[in-house]
Structures are given as C-alpha cells and as structure tokens.
Chain A
Amino acid sequence: MPSELVFYPLAALTLAAAIGAMALRNLVHCALSAAAAFTGLALIYLDLNAEFVGFAQVLVYVGAVAILIVFTVLLTRGADGPWRASAFSPGWVTGLAITGLLLACLVLPVLMSPSLKRLAPPSATAPVADIGRQLMTRYALPLETAGLLLTAALVGAVIIALDETRPVPPPADQSLPRRKPQLEESPR
C-alpha cells in the first residue's frame, strides 16, 4: 500500500536529485546526483510493492550505470570541465521553452482525466516466483532477445571503446638504432 507519507518526500527528493544531475556544473557531482535520483526511484518502486524491480533498479543503475558514467567522466577528463564558459548549449532559452511546452502537454491531460484520481487497490504484489515463471513462459522470447541484446551490447561496447591507436611495440631488431652502412662510405 503506497503511502503519501513516503511518496511525496521521496518524489521531491528524487526530482531534486534529477534536477541536480542535469544542472550541476561539476560532472562528478552530476553523476552522483543521478545515482541518488536512481536510488530514489528504486525506493518509489519498493513503495509500490514492486520489490524485484526496485532491487534490479539499484543493482543495474547504481551498481552498473552510475559506475560506468563515473568511469567515463574520469576517462574523458580534460575534454571540458567546470572552468568552461558555459555548461549549456547555445539557445537554451528556446530549449527551456520547448521543455515547458512538453511538460504542459504531458501534465495537462493527466490532470484533466478524472479516472486517474483513483486510489490504490489494497494489495497487489509481484512475487519473485511469479516473475520467474512468466519470464520462462510468456516472456521467454523477449528474455532471450534481451539476453542477445545485452551480449551484443557488451561485445560492441568493448570493441567501440577499445583503444586501437595504442602504439604496437616494434620488433626487437628494429627497435635498435640501425648502423648506417653509408656512413662509412661517405665521401670525405
């Protein structure tokens, strides 16, 4: 049973963390703030009785995606930092306007439809056993596809990020400076 006491503070914190992730100037702060937002979302899922999704969210987003982001930030250091003139694209005013339009378009219909004012039914759980059973029966094909996708993404990411410009050590006898034969035959 989701509770107002839990949801509203959590939602506010999550939104704040998300805004921080998007607005802070320091990239590491942004990444950590994003991780906080992901954690907040996981807690909201727990509040909605979706235990499994919540834990998966923490495992994947905090444990993997946030780390990846942090690593990328460190590996691309020097590209741009907090000392750059502006962290935002040119034309940010129109961008904000478009975002406002989008937000209005998303929120207005929600507020206008009366059927969405309903409260939560007393209990709805997602037992792990049921999730497992459904993954192996009804969702077997999507599961396999997702596995294939993840494998492809793993291999692809490794290949894309592989540093092929790394200098290959030259063969042993070429690494030595060659004695130039013409030196001895040079005209005096």
Chain B
Amino acid sequence: MDFIVKYLWLIPVLPLAGAGLSALLKPGQRRLAAALAIGPLGLSLLLSCAALAATLHHGAETGLARSTQDFEWFAFGQSTVRLGWVLDPLTAIMLLVVTFIGLLIFIYSTAYMAEDEHFGRFFCFLGFFAAAMLGIVISNSLLLLFVCWELVGLASYLLIGFWFQKPSAAAAAKKAFITTRIGDVGFLLGMLWLYAHSGTLLFYDGGHGILEQSTVTHLAALTTIGGMALSSAISILLFCGAIGKSGQLPLHVWLPDAMEGPTPVSALIHAATMVAAGVFLVARVFPLMSAGPHPGALEVVTWVGALTAVFAACIAVAQDDIKRILAYSTVSQLGYMMMGLGTGGVAVGMFHLTTHAFFKALLFLGAGSVIHGCGGEQDIRKMGGLRKLMPLTFACYAVGTMALCGIPLVFSGFWSKDAILHSARHWTVSQIPFYLGVAGAFLTAFYMTRQICYVFYGKSATHAHESPPAMTLPLAILAVCAIMVGFLGTPIWPWFDSYLSGEPISFHAGRLLEDGQLPVMLLSTAVVFAGAGLSAWVYGKSARTSRATDPLEVLQPSLFAWLRGKFFIDELYDATIVRLNAAFAGLARWLDATIWTGAVNLVARLTRAISLLDRKVDEAVINQGFDGGCEGLRVSGQWTAQGQNGQIQRYLRAIAVGFCGLLLLLIWGCR
C-alpha cells in the first residue's frame, strides 16, 4: 500500500510524458504517436490494477483503506500551500475505469482515425486528456483537483475542436469551453470560501483535511445567508462546477454540441470519463455535502439530477442524429447519477457511474463503428438494415442498449438504476424525484428502441461494411464488461457498496425481498418493457415504410417541435444572456469611445501646456548652467586624459611609483 501510494503520481505522469514526447514527433510518425499514447496508458492501467489490489488487500485488514502523500508546493508568508494525492477505494475504482476504458478507446481510435491527416496530434491530445483526468482522480487537494479540472476542460476544448476547419466544430469547442467556465466560477468561489474558513485545501490530512470530521463539523456549525449551513453553501458552489462539467440543467447545452468532435472523443470524454468528473467531484466532497442535520446541498443535487434526467430523456426522443441521441442520453444518465448521489450516497452514484461508463462507451464506440461503416453518415433516418451488414456491431450495440435501458437481471444498467430508484423511493424529503426517475426510465427505453429500429432494422439504404478488428475488439470487450460489471453491486452481494465504505461484505439472498426492493424492481421492469414495447410498436412499422416523418410528429406536431428544438434552450440563451452581454459590450464601447477618450485627450492637452512652459524654463535657465558645468568638466577631463595615453608601460611605471610610496608609508609612516 505504501509503495503504491508513493508511486501513484506515475499514473497521470506516464500518459502526460507520452503526450509530451509525441508532441515532438514529425507528422509522419503515426505508429510511434499511437504507441506513445497507448503504451503509457497501458502501464497506467497496470499500476491502477496494482492500486486496486493494494486497497483491497489493505481494506481486508483495516476496514477502509486510505493513505495519502502530500508535498509542499510553495509558501507565502507563514502559510504554505500543499498538494498531494490520495489512494482510497473511490480513487482506485475510478482509476481503473478511466484507464481501462481509455485504453480500449485508444486502441479503437487507431482504426477509427487511421485515415486522418493529424493522427499524431489526436493521440497527443488524447494522452494529455487521460493525464489530466487521472490527475483529477488521484488528487488529494481541491486545488490540484481544480487545476486538473481546468486541464481536462482544455483537453476537451482541443478535442472537440479537433476538426477546427469545420466552423461548427470550432463553435462547439468554444461553447463547451465557455459554458463549463460559468460553472467553474462557482467552483472557484466555493474553493476560495472554503480556504478562507479552513486554511487548507487538502482532502485528507491526518484529521485536518477539509473532508475530515473536525473541519466538517466546524463548517456545518456555522451559518450563512438565509440560515443555511456554511458547508451546504460551499457545497452548492462546488456543485456549480459539477453542473457545468457534467452537463446538468441549465448548463447542459454544450454537451450535445460537443458531438462535433471525433466519435472516440465523444466516447471517452463526453460519455465515459470527463462528464463523470462532475459526479466524481460530488462523490469526493460528499462528506462536506452531507454535513449537518439538514444537508441542503444534497437536496439541490437530487432535484437538479432528477429534472435533468427527465428533461434530457424527453429531448432524446425527438433527435435524428445518432450521436446526439446518445449525448442527451448521457445528460439524462448523469442526472440519474446525481440523483443517486443525492438520495443514496456515494456508492449508489458511483456504481451507476461505473456501469454507465462501460455501456455508454460501448454505445458511442458502436455508433462510431456505424458511422465509420456508413461512410460518415450520422442521420439515423438515412440508415437501416445494418443488422445484417454489421452483425458484430449490432450485437454489441444491442447489448449496450439493453444495459442502458436496464433489462432485468442480466444487464448492468438494471442493477445500478435499480439502486438509484430504490434509494429515491426511500428519500425522506420528497417522492417526486422517484417518479421522475421512473418516467426517465420509460423514456430511455423508448428512445433507445427507436434508435435500434431506425438503424438496424428495416431495409438497408446504404452500402455499409463491418469495421476492422481494432474497432470491433474493444466493442466486444466493452460488451462483456457491460454485462459483468452489474454483478458487483446487486442487493444480494453488494460488493461495490461495501468496498467503497470499507465495511465487511456478506452474501445474503434474502435481501432481495427486504426493504421494498422487489416492488421497485418489478415497477422498473414493467416500465422498461412498456417503453420498449411501445417504441417497437410505433417505429417497427415506420422503420420499414416511410422514414421522412416521425410517427410522433404526426400525432403531436407541437410537442414534437418543442422536443426537436430541445425546448429551445439555446435560443433562450441567445435571446437573453447573449443579447444582454452584447448590449453591455456596446455600452462599454460607447463609454470608452466618448467619455474616456475625451478625458484622456483633456489630460494630454494639459500636459502639453505644462511641458511648453517647462521647456522655456529649461532652455533659458538650466541649459545654460549645465553647459557651463560641462565645459568645465571637459577642459579638466582633457587635461587629465593626457596621463592616460594607452601605453601600458607608462601605467606600469605609475603603479610602481605608487607602490613604492605606499611601501615607504607602511614602513616609516606608520611607526
């Protein structure tokens, strides 16, 4: 444990070094660039496995395994800023998820990007992204986490705008960057506020860290505006950052646009890892969030998550772009995770994060395979019948879909979603999130089935082909994982829960029947089958016949327009915030051009008048005196300069005479 903690920093530094090296490569060295991304991440994966093994081993001995390693970054005045990294179950599980999925996506990218001109740059950015993400995961300091957080933002910007020649890609990159910055302002404010009260930003520091008992109780005891506990206020500000990064309402607008990036990027960043960073942040600062008798922050998290889950699922129903549907689905699932965190705690949210990472990466990579096979086509209405042309992709995609919908007992999504719904059912504050969650589950099944119908059934419209093994192999691996991971957190054998909390684990089949588990499960199963069945009934026919108009559009044109237009949130922002901003900018320009310029000109005129006066005085009085002085100096200088005639031997003589004088003075003068 100590050993692996000592070298934990290697996990992010290895991909970073690989990225740095590959930045120096010539454009032609494609194999080397890929190797420099994949190799270090493979090593990081091995180290992550070792870290997980260490926590398991250590956890078996002493309960919760957590050890940290800190160092001093810099000191100003009396106080020092310390950074560090932490290894605990949360870190270990997240490390494994990020490195494993990242590695598969890297391998997938070698095939997907094989034709791209800037292959090396892509892998350089991917490695950089992986490094920053792993930095977030291991950091033991909110400051270090924030730094990596911003680096992740940068990497995301670079990767979304990878095809920056496309104006839409450049705009999407900018949008993603600026939108997440809005959330980060809240994050930064919360961090500063926290530092002002606690004096440290380390999470765990032998009892002094911000997540440890003494600080948390101290913060929870203080109150601030509106009688809210200080810990809750700070947590809500930190949660703003998570809203931005995880695409929660109302800052979700960037995430669907981010699909302009290459599909592996969408899979890696906008499905599996980066957007999960917000969830991870909430999980990390959970002790702070849940402090006090009335954790207001958790209520905010729950409501935001529940609303986002349903809201995004609604939009996904009416979209046509295969990646956009998945993007809204991601937003929706992230809402589920937030809800799980708010109602059920770290384990519930993190479990859904883990399962979601696998099956959403699978879906995105599957979508990428479809797009690759169809020659860059993304509109699902123009696809069809791919089931026969791309059988392997279809099988994997189907597994991913079933996992996302939560088909019972076998697929991982069922178990993690069930855990969230179960905890929402038992939430004491309100039952509405539970019902919203059930509605979201229905919608999820509905739109995913719709997608399957459009893409894989019906008559084939394109000449698609199966993708190369480097793409299908990661798909297969992820498909297996998407099934298997769910068994880590069943109510019968809640390994995931006990691992994160450090409690002993037990196998207990009867737990399935206790505590209202069974009704919730049955309800969610019924809802899922209802949604899938309805969708299959509606679209199964139309997929075969007309594709131009959606059946829903025929039924409910105005509702469908709202959904197709994503509730016009972007337009709302354009009309309000962006226009307000432009108005303020115009005002500022006017102020600058008239008032400030006038003032500056006035000052300039005044200065010129004064300097004219000064010049007169200068010429008449000072120059005369100065010239006289200079003349005197010049004459005396000329006279002295005759001694310095450049002849070294003359100087030597002078030195000798002086030396003799000093010697005589020393001998006889100082008696």
Chain A: residues with CB nearer than 8 A to chain B? 89, 94-95, 98-99, 101-102, 105-106, 109
Contacts and interface: CB of A to CB of B under 8 A. Distances in A.
B643 to A, nearest CB: 14
A98 B654 CA distance: 9
Nearest to A103: B660
Nearest to B660: A105
B582 interface: no
B233 to A, nearest CB: 61
Contacts of B659: 102, 105
A105 B653 contact: no
Contact of A102 (B649, B656, B667): B656
Q: Give the dominant DSSP class at B's interface.
A: helix
A73 B159 CA distance: 71
A109 B667 contact: yes
B221 interface: no
A174 to B, nearest CB: 34
Contact of B653 (A95, A106, A109): A95
A101 B649 contact: no
B657 A101 contact: yes
B664 interface: yes
B518 interface: no
Contacts, number: 22
B36 to A, nearest CB: 40
Interface in B629-671: 649, 653, 656-657, 659-660, 663-664, 667
Nearest to B666: A109
Contacts of A95: 649, 653
A105 B657 contact: no
B647 to A, nearest CB: 8
Interface residues of B, number: 9
Contact of B656 (A89, A98, A109): A98
Given A94-B653, A109-B663, 7 more contacts: A95-B649, A98-B656, A98-B660, A101-B657, A101-B660, A105-B660, A109-B667
A160 to B, nearest CB: 17
B663 A98 contact: no
Contacts of B667: 109
A102 B649 CA distance: 15
Contacts of A99: 656
A105 B649 contact: no
B649 A89 contact: yes
Contacts of A106: 663
A94 B647 CA distance: 15
Given A105-B663, A105-B664, A98 B649 contact: no
A95 B660 CA distance: 14
Contacts of B660: 98, 101-102, 105
B73 to A, nearest CB: 35
Nearest to A108: B667
A101 B659 CA distance: 10
Nearest to B650: A91
Contacts of A101: 656-657, 660
B651 to A, nearest CB: 12
B160 to A, nearest CB: 52
Nearest to B668: A109
A99 B649 CA distance: 12
A105 B658 CA distance: 12
7 contacts: A98-B653, A101-B656, A101-B657, A102-B656, A105-B659, A105-B660, A109-B667
A95 B648 CA distance: 13
A128 to B, nearest CB: 36
A152 B663 CA distance: 34
Contacts of A105: 659-660, 663-664
B9 to A, nearest CB: 37
Q: Which of B649, B653, B659 has the most CB of A within 10 A?
A: B653
Contacts of B664: 105
Contact of B657 (A89, A98, A109): A98
A94 B657 CA distance: 11
A98 B650 CA distance: 11
Nearest to A95: B653
Q: Which of A105, A106, A109 has the most CB of B within 10 A?
A: A105
